[in-house]
Structure 1
Amino acid sequence: MFWKLIGLTAAGLTSFAFIPQVLKMYTTKSAKDLSLVTLLQLSAGVSLWILYGIYLKDSIIIFANAVTLLTLLSADFLYYKYRRTV
């Protein structure tokens, strides 16, 4: 039970870590100082974590990384939308 709680806590912290950046891009309408390479690397890495979670049949890994991927895809979209202001 203890390790499941550790996993859930880690999943929650990492899943929602990029939300402040997405909100900042949305409110400022700017992608200034944001690295597209970093966004794409994180998106690729998180996608691989999802595949690994599916292989392990680990719902915590799958769900946490799916939420993270949705957040990163939102950031990718906003980056392209506001890239002219970079």
Structure 2
Amino acid sequence: MNNNILGIIAGILTSISMLPQLIKVLKEKNVDDLSPVMLLTLIVGLSLWVAYGIGKGEAPIIYSNAFAVLVNLCLLGSYLIYSKRK
């Protein structure tokens, strides 16, 4: 398999991996099982991957990780909103 195709598939899968969690949180409005420290760590790590991708000029790295940052920021925002309701 072509390495570029492999990288694109890996990027898509990793960038959508947290979507089921986000959908569940938005439906149930329950964030009891979320760790804000994990989310912050993941957001920082993914942001560094975006910076790395920009430095290398690698669009698949940039876009897949930028999407993952967005999803995880939504999760973090949901955590901040729904954890205050208790």
Q: How does the TM-score come out when normalised to structure 2?
A: 0.95
Task: Write the deviation string for residues 26-82 of structure 1: whole angstroms up to 9, x where unpaired.
Answer: 001110111000000000000000000000000010000011011001101101011
Query: 1:2 matched to which residue of 2?
Result: 2
1:68 and 2:68 correspond: yes
Structure 1 unaligned spans of 5+: none
Considering only aligned residues, what root-mean-square deviation do their CA atoms show, in Å? 1.3
Query: Are the equivalent residues in 2 in contact too, given 1:32–1:85 (CA < 8 A)?
Result: no
Query: 1:12 matched to which residue of 2?
Result: 12
Q: Secondary structure at the match of 1:82?
A: helix
Q: Secondary structure at the match of 1:30?
A: coil
Structure 2 unaligned spans of 5+: none
Query: 1:27 matched to which residue of 2?
Result: 27
Amino acid paired to 1:71: V
Instruction: Give matches, 1:17-56, under 5 Å.
Output: 17-56=17-56
**Paired positions, count:** 86
Amino acid paired to 2:74: S
Extract structure 1 runs of 4+ deviating beyond 3 A: none
Q: CA separation in 2, counterparts of 1:19 and 1:33?
A: 15
Q: Residue 85 of structure 1: CA displacement?
A: 5.7
Q: Secondary structure at the match of 1:7?
A: helix
